[in-house]
Every structure is written in C-alpha cells, then in structure tokens.
C-alpha cells in the first residue's frame, strides 16, 4: 500500500507542476485531508512545532506563494 500511495502522490505532483492552476480543483477532488480539501488545499497559518516534523520541514522550505513541494 505504501508504494501505491507514493506512486499516486508522485503522479499528482507531476500533474500539478505541469498545471499549477489546477491545484485547488485537484485538492477538492483527491485530498484525504477534508479540512484543507474544502478550501482548495489551503492550510491555515501555523508555527513550528504545531504539525508533524516531516510536514513542517517540507512546508518551511517553500519560499513563495504557490510553491509546490
């Protein structure tokens, strides 16, 4: 199952990098996070220490609005 999840995530990332304007639509369609999915994938602001360490590390590497990790 983990391999399948990673393959799906990599495919989705590639699609979004080629067409980032589809992000909100795709988030609503496929996100397992129902809170952010209803907001087109947008997350509320959060500080370090409030989320899972791996998620935070990737999140805080993003520098510009609309960056995709």
DSSP string, 20-67: GGGHHHHHHHH-S-HHHHTTTT------TTSS-HHHHHHHTT--STT-
The reported pLDDT for the residue numbered 43 is 86
Burial of 2 from C-beta contacts in 10 A (0-12 / 13-18 / 19+): exposed
Binned at pLDDT 50, 70 and 90, residue 1 comes out as confident
pLDDT given at position 57: 92
Residue 49 in this model has a pLDDT that exceeds 80: yes
Judge contact between 43 and 36, C-beta under 8 A: yes
pTM for this model (two decimals) = 0.64
What is the enclosing helix (H) or strand (E) of 1? none
Instruction: State what percent of residues in the chain have pLDDT above 70.
Output: 100
């Amino acid at each position: 199952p983990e391999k399948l999840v990673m393959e799906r995530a990599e495919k989705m990332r590639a699609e979004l990098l080629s067409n980032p304007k589809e992000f909100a639509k795709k988030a609503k369609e496929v996100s397992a996070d129902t809170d952010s999915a209803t907001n087109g994938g947008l997350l509320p602001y959060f500080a370090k220490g409030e989320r899972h360490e791996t998620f935070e590390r990737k999140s805080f590497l993003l520098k510009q609005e609309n960056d995709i990790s």
